[in-house]
Structure 1
Amino acid sequence: MHIAPGTLRLALTHRSYAYENSNLPTNERLEFLGDSILGLAVTDYLYRTFPDLAEGDLAKLRAALVSTRALARVARSLGVGPHISLGAGERLTRGQDKDSILADTMEALIGAAYLSTDTETARRLVLRLVVPLLSDKDAMTAGKDWKTTIQEIAAARDLGEIRYMITDFGPDHHKSFNATLVIGGTSYGSGSGPSKKEAEREAARATVETLTAGRGEQGDILTLVLDRFGDKAPSAS
């Protein structure tokens, strides 16, 4: 697929770079456009592919496929990060590997592809990128609200108060965080990430998996999709 050079360059221009270089145009307008194209393509595909799913289940699938973590996963597989123009501060804090920046850039690239081709070509590009995620457990749980899920489980089982124990490590310009989820005074899952929020999310996910192992309580839309397609996602036609 050919994307006009100027449009491609714009899609890869993060606002931090633009602000440090005489307020150049940023990729935010392309991101806005790409987000809409992504959402329409995924919504249409899921509607046609899963005719037996209710609206709520379709919404869960869409949320997983267009989530920041899922799009960042796609961007990493394509090697997008090193090509993003970033400001000095973002380069110092490894912005080229931040989920939010990678996901936003993927949306901008989708918008650029649309402007350089046509609606159908952009739609096929979107599906080629995201449909394989349907058979990827990590990607499909990317949009799941693990912290809410663990609150519901703890309340249903009367396990006690939930709190997160946070520690940090690494230099100030590249700090990482570790979280351990404690429920009713008992430590459960742990997780790490580049922010406290991400570390808490990973700890909650680990705890949910521990508490629901073998109990059949995760019978959600992810299980349905993986049971149906196994390791082979449906065709991105």
Structure 2
Amino acid sequence: MCNLEELENSIDYHFKDKNLLLTALTHKSYKNHQNNERLEFLGDAVLDLLVGEFLYHKFPKNQEGDLSKMRAALVNEQSFTSFAQAINLQNFIRISHNEESNLGREKSSILSSAFEALIGAVYLESGIKIAKKITYKILEELYPKIDTQSLFIDYKTALQEITQARFNEIPHYELLEEIGPDHCKKFKISLLIQGQEYARAIGTSKKNAQQNCAKIAYQKIIEQEKI
């Protein structure tokens, strides 16, 4: 596990109680230690409020129905996984050796839960104002031009359109691995363009994993074009 100060620097907040931070980073598979499930419960409620407030002020002309749809697009496992990855949270989570072997640091369920727990821990120690500052900063970084289109974009379709225009071919999705038991299976997918891997991701279904891959690849191509 990396130096926790790196994580604290990335969110511009340093915990007074380091044990509280460690608890937020501890998955239930990490035996003989208090895990982050209670903090996850708290953080989920805090994030639901903060994202709702963010959208309320960001879109003063939108009606309740639109705001609810946008919040649903942001307050979910996939979105919180992106939040976690934005601060490299995967490098700091404490998981068991078995989870490590099963690519636990890439699992959306573990990443999103850890992010919720982290925000819950910040709220518990320093209140809503600091939790808001951290959450808003990540939202602004991930969605610099947030609108309904950017939230509801079908990345598979968008990527196919952009690769056909630029590379004269469509992306190829390759199943790398099926992880976990049948009742809780995850799928690891690789995305290739012209034989080159542009992304790999895990999802709760093949379709979900492909969408996750497509989002990564789409954003990568857009960023490359800006250089």
Amino acid in the other structure paired with 1:26: N
Shift of residue 80 of structure 1? 1.1
Q: Calculate percent identity across the aligned residue pairs.
A: 32
Which residue pairs with 2:25 in the alignment? 12
CA distance in 2: counterparts of 1:61 and 1:177, whole angstroms: 27
Structure 2 CA distance for partners of 1:13 and 1:130, relative to 1, 3 Å: same
Offset at 1:92? Answer: 0.4
2:73–2:151 contact (8 Å) kept in structure 1: yes
1:55 aligns to 2:64 (yes or no): yes
Q: Does 1:37 align with 2:49?
A: no
Q: 1:126 aligns with which of 132, 135, 143?
A: 135
For 1:102 and 1:203, locate their aligned partners in 2 and report how far apart those are by CA, in whole Å.
Answer: 18
Distance 2:111 2:95 in 1: 11
> Over aligned residue pairs, what C-alpha RMSD do you find?
3.6
Q: Which residue of 2 aligns with 1:92?
A: 101
- For the residues of structure 2 that align with 1:39 and 1:172, how far apart are their CA atoms? 30
1:163-182 correspondence to structure 2 within 5 Å:
168-170=175-177, 176-177=188-189
> Out of 202, 213, 217, which is 1:194 matched to?
202
- The amino acid that maps onto 1:194 is I
Q: 1:170: Cα distance to partner?
A: 4.7
Greater Rg by CA? 1
Shift of 1:132: 3.0
What letter matches 2:122 in structure 1? A
- Measured after TM superposition, the shift of residue 74 of structure 1 is 2.0
Moved over 4 A (4+): 140-146, 170-175, 202-206
Using CA pairs below 8 Å that are at least 6 residues apart, which structure has the higher relative contact order? 1
Q: Compared with structure 1, are the counterparts of its residues 60 and 144 closer, same or farther at alpha carbon in structure 2 (3 Å cutoff)? A: farther
Q: For the structure 1 residues 70 and 145, does the alpha-carbon distance in structure 2 shift closer, same or farther, using more than 3 Å as the test?
A: same
The answer for unaligned runs of 5 or more in structure 1 is: 147-165, 180-190, 207-237
User: 2:117 — aligned with what?
Assistant: 108
What is the one-letter code of the residue matched to 1:2?
H
Count residues with an aligned counterpart. 172
Task: Measure the CA separation in 2 of the matches of 1:59 and 1:74.
Answer: 19
User: In the TM superposition, what is the alpha-carbon distance from 1:129 to its structure 2 partner?
Assistant: 1.6
Gap change, CA 1:143 and 1:107, over 3 Å in 2: farther
Q: Distance in 2 between matches of 1:133 and 1:87?
A: 30
CA contact (8 A) 2:86 2:138 kept: no
Give the AA of the match of 1:15: K
C-alpha distance in 2, partners of 1:111/1:176?
A: 29
In the alignment, structure 2 segments of 5+ residues that lack a partner are 1-12, 156-172, 181-185, 192-198, 214-227
Give the conservation status (yes or no) of the 8 Å contact 2:175–2:187: yes
Note closer, same or farther for the CA distance 1:103–1:202 as it changes in structure 2 (3 Å cut): closer
Q: Flag the 1:102–1:196 CA change in 2: closer, same or farther, 3 A.
A: closer
Q: Deviations 1:167-216 (Å, cap 9, x if unpaired)? A: 7445878973589xxxxxxxxxxx9753561x22365799xxxxxxxxxx
